[in-house]
A and B are shown apart, each in its own frame.
Chain A
Amino acid sequence: MREAGPTDAVDGAQPRAVVSPSSTTETAEVLRAAYEGGFRTVVRGGGSKLGLGNPPAGVDLVLSTERLGRVLEHAAGDLVVRVEAGVRLADLQAALAPAGQLLGLDPPEARATVGGVVAANASGPRRLRYGTVRDLLIGITVVLADGTVAHSGGKVVKNVAGYDLGKLFAGSLGTLGVIVEAIFRLHPAPAATAVATAEVAAPGQAGSAVRALLASALVPSAIELDWPGPDGPGTLTVLFEGIGPGVDAQAANTARLLADAGTPGARVLLDGEPGQGGEAGLGGGADRGGEATRAAAALGALPWEAGQLGVKVATGPSGLPGALATVWEVAAAHGLAARATAHAGTGVLRAGLDGGDATTLAAFVNGARERLAPAQAGLVVAEAPLEVKQGVDAWGPVGDALPLMRKVKQRFDPSGLLSPGRFVGGI
């Protein structure tokens, strides 16, 4: 435990102390003491998602997971790993690589810890292939606000005994309890990588290309869109991972399919000799230098810099062109420069906005949200300067389930001590 400094502030809220327990038992002791003292606690992993959500209503204690850093058990034959929350995702991938395995999560934040990835429900390009945290987390250990330690799930992939608390905690942003341990199912690392990439002139053209890809029998690991500015063009990149002959054939077929769907001129990038492909992009695997591997590693970068406004719009694949057009239009109306990337295969758009003051940026958020609402597409503020956040709700409306979510929060953290105010509806 140490006294907190200015760099420990969470969205402007200054904690009094930072505490770093080194075990589940210590975490429970810390939380019990915080509960008895009425201290408001925010959990910090790698710190990469501290800007997510609304500014906390107040924070007394930052609970850092930096000392919960052990990979507890890697059952390679069962494709399962049990880790402490503070393990960095990149380090975990590096630990799994010698067994030829990986955890199918590839969020862009280099510093991210396992616990943070779960709490923020972070994802990356390969969510098309592997799903998100909810699909890969099979067991969890949490400590509640009053120090109660609870487990759910377990070390087996197939398990329906009891409620699935892992799903409840995935994306809960530290508002229900502190995640201390997680168990994941793993996947074999692919032996080869191939990429097909093409320029697209307009959002509608990208939409047609994505629709054709999803309707085909191709099995891409990712379909990514990068759009540097409203005047286009954008780049569509389709990633294949698997065995050499398989991925090469799929990438070649993709080029033909894209041409038929109105996007000619796709380039196919291969790694060359079989075995040159790598697992780069999913953590610590060595970059074995092939063209496809390098292109794969570059996928998924955030379209904003620290200190800018970054938003996420989850639409589903069919809503993507409309959402993209909306972002350009509303940005232009407010005189903002915009850059967008998308996990196009799952329909998750991210945009970075720059060039205006806090009032303008907040107006963009509210304006875009209003325009997107009829299409049932929610807009979430992923990162923003504090002054912008003070003018908007980071999450937007969550519908008629909000009262039920409040009841869940009330049961798990009746005193409202964990990450108060950061979550939806002021939870």
Chain B
Amino acid sequence: MVDRQRLIERMRAVLGPGGVIAERNQLRTYECDGLAAFRVVPALVVLPETTEQVQGAVRVCHEEGVPFVARGSGTGLSGGALPVSDGVLIVLSRMRRILEIDYDDQRAVVEPGVINLWVTKEVAPRGYYYAPDPSSQLICSIGGNVAENSGGAHCLKYGFTTNHVTGLEIVLPDGDLVHLGGKAPDPPGYDLVGAFVGSEGTLGIATKVTLRLLRKPEAVRTLMAAFESADAAGDAVSKIIAAGIVPAAVEIMDALAMEAAEAAVHVHYPEGAGAVLIVELDGPEAECTHQFEEVERLCQEAGSTTIQIAEDDDQRALFWKGRKSAFAAVGRISPDYYVQDGVIPRTALGAVLREIADMAEERGLRVANVFHAGDGNLHPLVLYDGDVEGEEERAEELAAKILFACLALGGSITGEHGVGADKKKYMPKQFTADDLDVMQLLRCAFDPDGRCNPGKVFPTPRLCGETPGKRHVHPAEQPGLVEAV
């Protein structure tokens, strides 16, 4: 049994009085992340400003046997930063310094609380940028991006967070500090940077992150092509890929998503279009110009009704603003909605869209579709009204069925939002028990006591050292401990 008062005192000794939040009403601020459907008030929130303070806080947790959860800006959409009720929430938002920019080696070293877009803003005057661009990049933190292996619209060509992190300083669940990778390529030993990125905060807390910087491309060309249906837009994407073109980004929005975005940001989508396709190419001028003409031609061949070409950066920004605001904009046309994050092999796009439409119709629900079409990452937004009896349950059931459809087509339950608390129950549908057990081996190497973000990712946490096949409820998951703290 942990004495809460003792825990508070020990944390204050590490972080100072301003670094510890213990007041019930203030704790409530942190009860959820971007997935508001899950809410848990943590026992305590701490706000470290230095690596030493993170270490100190984690060491206290380790010594007191208290679970902890790390949180960045709290924009995650899978409940990955959902607190544990008898645990400590370690909020990294005060660690927001850009520590070093090395243009010659194209690296930046930043603290975890640094906002994604700040990195690009910092290096843009010298002609560089940081590639992964989640829709939340104005507010999401690099530490959160590392935990979730965040994606974004431009990941088709340039890869995800995991392809852009070369080094990490991490605090292990026992408080030890470890340095993984660095600025130089091919560090000898296991690629623990690769294992850590995307581990959803279950292996430790990153306190420094070394990022790759990319040189801004010479040319960027963007078009928005209207189609009668999302299916037809999908055909255009297939033709583009078959022509050997790798666009920087390929996005599709269907009519309902356009309606929502139009209401929010006035992009002036073509009247009556069933879907729009946004294609962006970048690279050397000659190549970009040539391929852009080809993309235009292929869109026409696929039956595009109108094609708008971004005349300048402002218009390009407007195209993207419509796309990136689509999730939030759906709030304008529906009181409630689920954001889903399934992945399919890109060529199965038409099939899955038809299936989603059929399933939605059966349940009398509407689904707005927004997707990263180049890599088959769907974001169906299941619209519902929580005030209508039974609608929420039907919406939840439809959201689940959509993921099962993705899996049946050889896809994944999550492309970029993470498993978190939300989708862990679906993990056994994608992976075998042995797959999950072997993943647990990695977890046990980092966190043998299971205190680091417990209850996320894996459906049935196991105590390390158990033999496979015998599963028990982890003590941190048992009810009762909560009240004691």
Interface set of A (CB-CB < 8 Å, partner B): 75, 77-80, 100, 121, 123, 131-132, 134-135, 142, 144, 148-152, 154-168, 170-172, 176, 187-189, 191, 211, 214-219, 242-243, 245-247, 249-250, 312, 314-319, 346-348, 376-378, 380, 395-396, 398-402, 404-405, 407-408, 410-412, 423-425
Contact = CB atoms under 8 A, between A and B. Distances in A.
Count class of interface residues, chain B: 35 or more
B184 A314 contact: yes
A410 B445 CA distance: 8
Contacts of B414: 159-161
B105 interface: yes
A243 B105 contact: no
Contacts of A134: 162-163, 191, 194
A217 B343 CA distance: 33
Interface of B: 102-107, 127, 148-149, 151, 155-156, 159-160, 162-163, 172, 177-180, 182-195, 197-199, 215-218, 238, 241-242, 244-246, 283-287, 290-291, 343-347, 372, 375-377, 410-419, 423, 427, 430-432, 434-439, 441-446, 457, 468
Contacts of B106: 214, 317
Contact of A156 (B163, B187, B415, B442): B415
Contact of B191 (A79, A155, A170): A170
Given A161-B414, A348-B186, A318 B102 contact: yes
Contacts of B105: 316-319, 347
Given A217-B127, A217-B218, 20 more contacts: A78-B376, A100-B244, A134-B191, A148-B434, A154-B412, A162-B430, A162-B439, A163-B443, A164-B198, A165-B442, A187-B246, A214-B104, A217-B216, A218-B284, A243-B290, A245-B287, A316-B107, A316-B183, A318-B104, A408-B441
A314 B166 CA distance: 13
Given A158-B372, A171-B190, A246-B286, A314 B217 contact: no
A412 B440 CA distance: 10
A404 B163 CA distance: 22
Given A77-B241, A400-B179, A405 B284 contact: no
B410 A154 contact: yes
A170 B197 CA distance: 15
A134 B190 CA distance: 12
Which of A155, A158, A376 is the most central at the interface, judged by chain B CB atoms within 10 Å of its CB? Answer: A158
Contact of A401 (B179, B244, B432): B179
Contacts of A217: 127, 215-218, 284
B445 A215 contact: no
Given A314-B184, A317-B105, A399-B179, A408 B190 contact: yes
Contact of B431 (A135, A151, A423): A151
B250 to A, nearest CB: 12
B144 to A, nearest CB: 13
Contacts of B104: 211, 214, 316-318
Which of A131, A157, A188, A246 is the most central at the interface, judged by chain B CB atoms within 10 Å of its CB? Answer: A157
Nearest to B418: A160
Which of B186, B241, B344, B347 is the most central at the interface, judged by chain A CB atoms within 10 Å of its CB? Answer: B186
Contacts of A189: 244
B328 to A, nearest CB: 22
Nearest to B287: A246
B347 A151 contact: no
Given A211-B104, A217-B215, A243-B291, A191 B244 contact: yes
25 contacts: A77-B238, A78-B347, A78-B376, A132-B185, A134-B191, A134-B194, A135-B163, A152-B431, A158-B375, A158-B412, A160-B418, A161-B413, A162-B427, A163-B195, A163-B199, A167-B193, A171-B186, A188-B245, A217-B216, A245-B290, A312-B186, A314-B186, A346-B185, A376-B184, A407-B445
B186 A408 contact: no
A151 B191 contact: no
A229 to B, nearest CB: 25
B375 A157 contact: yes
Contacts of B415: 156, 158-160
A325 B105 CA distance: 19
Contacts of B197: 164
A150 B435 contact: yes
Contact of A245 (B286, B345, B411, B438): B286
Contact of B215 (A187, A214, A395): A214
Contacts of A155: 345, 410-411
Contacts of A407: 445-446
Nearest to A249: B286
A253 to B, nearest CB: 9
Nearest to A312: B186
Contacts of A314: 184-187
A400 B189 CA distance: 11
Nearest to B347: A77
A247 B283 CA distance: 11
Which of B149, B182, B245, B445 is the most central at the interface, judged by chain A CB atoms within 10 Å of its CB? Answer: B445
B131 to A, nearest CB: 12
A123 to B, nearest CB: 8
A164 B192 contact: no
Contacts of B217: 217, 219
Contact of B442 (A77, A245, A396, A411): A411
B445 A411 contact: yes
B190 A158 contact: no
B38 to A, nearest CB: 18
Contact of B177 (A123, A159, A347, A400): A400
A347 B187 CA distance: 12
Contacts of B423: 161
A348 B188 CA distance: 13
Which of B149, B172, B410 is the most central at the interface, judged by chain A CB atoms within 10 Å of its CB? Answer: B410
B195 A164 contact: yes
A222 to B, nearest CB: 14
A49 to B, nearest CB: 14
Contacts of A79: 241
A158 to B, nearest CB: 4
A95 B194 CA distance: 29
A316 B184 contact: yes
Contacts of A156: 343-345, 375-376, 410-412, 415
A172 B346 CA distance: 31
B191 A167 contact: yes
B442 A158 contact: no
Contacts of A78: 345-347, 376
A321 B477 CA distance: 55
Nearest to A253: B284
Contacts of A152: 431, 435, 438-439
A171 B149 contact: no
B241 A348 contact: no
A317 B376 CA distance: 35
Q: Which 7 A-B pairs have the closest CB atoms?
A: A167-B194, A246-B287, A188-B244, A150-B438, A217-B218, A318-B104, A77-B347
Contacts of A399: 179
B290 A246 contact: yes
Which of B193, B245, B287, B468 is the most central at the interface, judged by chain A CB atoms within 10 Å of its CB? Answer: B287
A408 B345 contact: no
A158 B194 contact: no
B444 A172 contact: no
A168 B194 contact: yes
A162 B431 contact: yes
Contacts of B286: 243, 245-246, 249-250
A21 to B, nearest CB: 18
A170 B283 CA distance: 30
Nearest to B216: A217
Contacts of B468: 148
B31 to A, nearest CB: 24
Nearest to B106: A214
A242 B148 contact: no
Contacts of A395: 188-189
Contacts of B290: 243, 245-246
B184 A219 contact: no
Contacts of A150: 432, 434-435, 437-439
